[in-house]
Amino acid sequence: MPTIYSITQINAYIQGRMNEDPMLAQVAVRGEISNYKLYPSGHHYFTLKDEQSALKCVMFKGNAMSLRFRPASGMKVIALGRISVYPRDGQYQLYVSSMAMDGIGDLYAAFEALKKKLSQQGLFDPAKKKPIPKYPQTIGIVTSSAGAAVHDILRILRRRYPLCSVRLLPVRVQGAEAPEEIVSAIRYANVHDLADLLIVGRGGGSIEDLWAFNDERVAYAIYESHIPIISAVGHEPDVTIADYVADLRAATPSNGAELAVPDREALAQNLDAFSAAMTGALNRQLRLASQRLEGLAASPALRSPTGYLDRREKDLGLLKEKLLAAQNRELSKAQQKYVANVAKLDAMSPLKVLSRGYAMAQKETGELIRSVKQTTTGESIVVSLADGKLNASILSIKEASHESENQDL
C-alpha cells in the first residue's frame, strides 16, 4: 500500500523539489502585467501573461523599493526571480526580485493613444463638464444587473437619500458587446429624459475586464450626454477613458453613489442648525421689538398725552412769538432803508434844485440848454421854475469872460 501524505506534506515536497531546481532558482520572464494590485503592506501582486498562458507573481516590499517605475496593468515587463510553491494554496508563482520595463503593452499603448486623441479634441476639458445636481429626483444606473456594483450603489442611495427614485439600465460591462450596450443605454436615457443624473460603471477587475470603459464609442456617448454622468469604474487605482470624459469621477461604484446624493443625516443636521439659527434670529428680533415698545410706553407722550400736548403747544407759542419778533425787526430795517433811499433820491431831484431859486432852460424841442452857444438871438426858449414855466425870447447873447469865471472861483 502506498504511503499516505497530507496536503501540507505534498505541497512542502513540491516546494522543496522546485527550490532545488537550478533553472527555477533564477529565471527571467517576459510578459504583460495584469490584475496589478498594490497592498497597504507595500507588497505587489500581479499576473504576467502572454498570448497563451499566465503566471502569478508577487514582489515583496523590500524588493519593490528598487523599482524605477510604477507598475500598472497593461505594461510589458521582464521580471527576474525564483519560482516556488506557496504551500498554503498549493500554487506556484514567481517571487520577483527585480523588474524592468519591456516596452508598453498593447492595451496600455492603445489606452494612451486614445487618451491623447480625445484630449486634443477637447473631451476632457474641465470647462465643458456639466454640474452634478445637488438634489437629484431620479438617478439612472448604467451597469450590470448581476454584479455586486449595482447592489452597493442601491444600498448607499437608499441609505443616504431615499427621496430619489432609481432607474436601472442593465448592460454587459465586459466583452465585445459591452461598449455598444453601454452607449445605447446612455443615449436611451438622454432621448427619453429618464434621469437627472447617470452613474455609469462596474466593479473592479483586470485591464481587460475594464476595457469596455476605454472604448472610443463610450467616450463620445458620455461627452454628448446632456444628462450629467458620474463614472464609477473599478477601484481607486483603476483609471479609464470614461473617468476622464465624465463630468465627475468616482473611485468606486460605492463612492459614485456617495457623490451622487447628499446624506440625509447631514441634511437633517443642517436643517436643525438652520432652524436653531432662525429661532435665535426671531427671538432677537422679538427682544428688540419688546425693548422698543417698553421705551415707547415709558415716553412722556404715552404716559401723559394731555401734558405732552400742553408742553408742545407752549413750545409752539414761544416759537411763534420769536418768529413775529424777528419778522418785525426785519420789516423795521427794511423801512428805515427805504426812507433813507427816498431821501437820497429827493435830494438829487431837479425839482428840489429849482425850489432853491434855480431855473432850467430848454429849447422848444425839449433839448436842455447848458451853454449860450446852443442858442441864437431871437430864438424862443422855455424856462422852468419851481412853480411853473416861462416862454421867453432871446434878445441878446453875452458869453461869460474867463476873468469873471476866475473871480467867481
Q: Is pLDDT at 339 greater than 70 in this prediction?
A: yes
Same domain, 172 and 251: yes
Q: Is pLDDT at 247 greater than 70 in this prediction?
A: yes
> In 3D, which of 34, 125, 117, 97 has the Cα closest to residue 71?
34
Sign of CA dihedral 260, 263, 267, 269: negative
Cell numbers at 106, concatenated: 498593447
129 found inside a domain: no
DSSP string, 48-72: EE-SS-EEEEEE-HHHHTT-SS---
Amino acid 404: pLDDT = 46
Q: Give the least confident one: 148-157, 224-233, 325-334.
A: 325-334
Same domain, 159 and 253: yes
Average pLDDT across the chain, whole number: 88
Cα gap 190→187, rounded to integer Å? 5
> What's the whole-number mean pLDDT along residues 183-188?
98
288 found inside a domain: no
146 found inside a domain: yes
Q: What angle do CA 102, 107, 113 make, to 5 degrees?
A: 100
Q: Which CATH number covers residue 15?
A: 2.40.50.140
109 found inside a domain: no
114 found inside a domain: no
For 192-209, write each residue's pLDDT tens digit.
999 999 999 999 887 788
Same domain, 329 and 240: no
For 77-104, write each residue's pLDDT tens digit.
999 999 998 888 888 999 999 988 886 5
3-state helix, strand, coil in the chain (%, to 5): 45, 25, 30
Residue 140 near residue 169 (C-beta atoms within 8 A): yes
Same domain, 247 and 316: no
Q: Which of 151-160, 313-322, 373-382 has the highest mean pLDDT?
A: 151-160
> What's the whole-number mean pLDDT along residues 269-295?
86
Boundary of a domain, candidates 262, 294, 325: 262
As a whole number of Å, the CA-based R_g of the chain is 57
214 found inside a domain: yes
Residue 69 amino acid letter? F
Q: Which CATH number covers residue 245?
A: 3.40.50.2300
> What's the whole-number mean pLDDT along residues 39-56?
93
> What's the whole-number mean pLDDT along residues 234-249?
92
121 found inside a domain: no
Boundary of a domain, candidates 200, 235, 262: 262
Cα gap 158→211, rounded to integer Å? 30
For 4-44, write each residue's pLDDT tens digit.
878 888 888 888 888 888 888 889 999 999 999 999 999 99
DSSP string, 31-43: EEEEEEEE-TTS-
Alpha helices in 203-349 (DSSP H): 216-224, 241-245, 253-260, 264-297, 300-303, 305-347
Residue 118 amino acid letter? L
For 110-119, write each residue's pLDDT tens digit.
888 899 999 9
Cell numbers at 221, concatenated: 456617448
Residue 373's pLDDT band, with cuts at 50, 70 and 90, is: confident
The pLDDT > 90 percentage for the chain reads 45
For 121-161, write each residue's pLDDT tens digit.
999 999 999 999 999 999 999 999 998 999 999 999 999 99
Amino acid 199: pLDDT = 98
Amino acid 405: pLDDT = 45
Alpha carbon separation from 144 to 182, 202, 245, 325, 331 (Å, rounded): 10, 7, 21, 101, 104
Residue 301's pLDDT band, with cuts at 50, 70 and 90, is: low
Same domain, 242 and 336: no
Same domain, 341 and 402: no
Our count of domains for the chain comes to 4
Give phi and psi for 150, each to the nearest 5. -65, -35
Boundary of a domain, candidates 232, 262, 292: 262
Amino acid 407: pLDDT = 44
Same domain, 240 and 336: no
Same domain, 179 and 218: yes
Higher pLDDT, 194 or 291: 194
Same domain, 313 and 237: no
Amino acid 201: pLDDT = 96
Amino acid 401: pLDDT = 66
Domain extent, residue 228, equals 135-262
Alpha carbon separation from 188 to 71, 226, 227 (Å, rounded): 38, 12, 11
Residue 130, strand partner residues: none
Residue 78 near residue 29 (C-beta atoms within 8 A): yes
Amino acid 351: pLDDT = 66
Same domain, 150 and 256: yes
Same domain, 258 and 151: yes
26-42 burial by CB neighbour count: b if 16+ within 10 A, else e? eeebebbbbbbebeeee
Residue 205 near residue 174 (C-beta atoms within 8 A): yes
Same domain, 151 and 214: yes
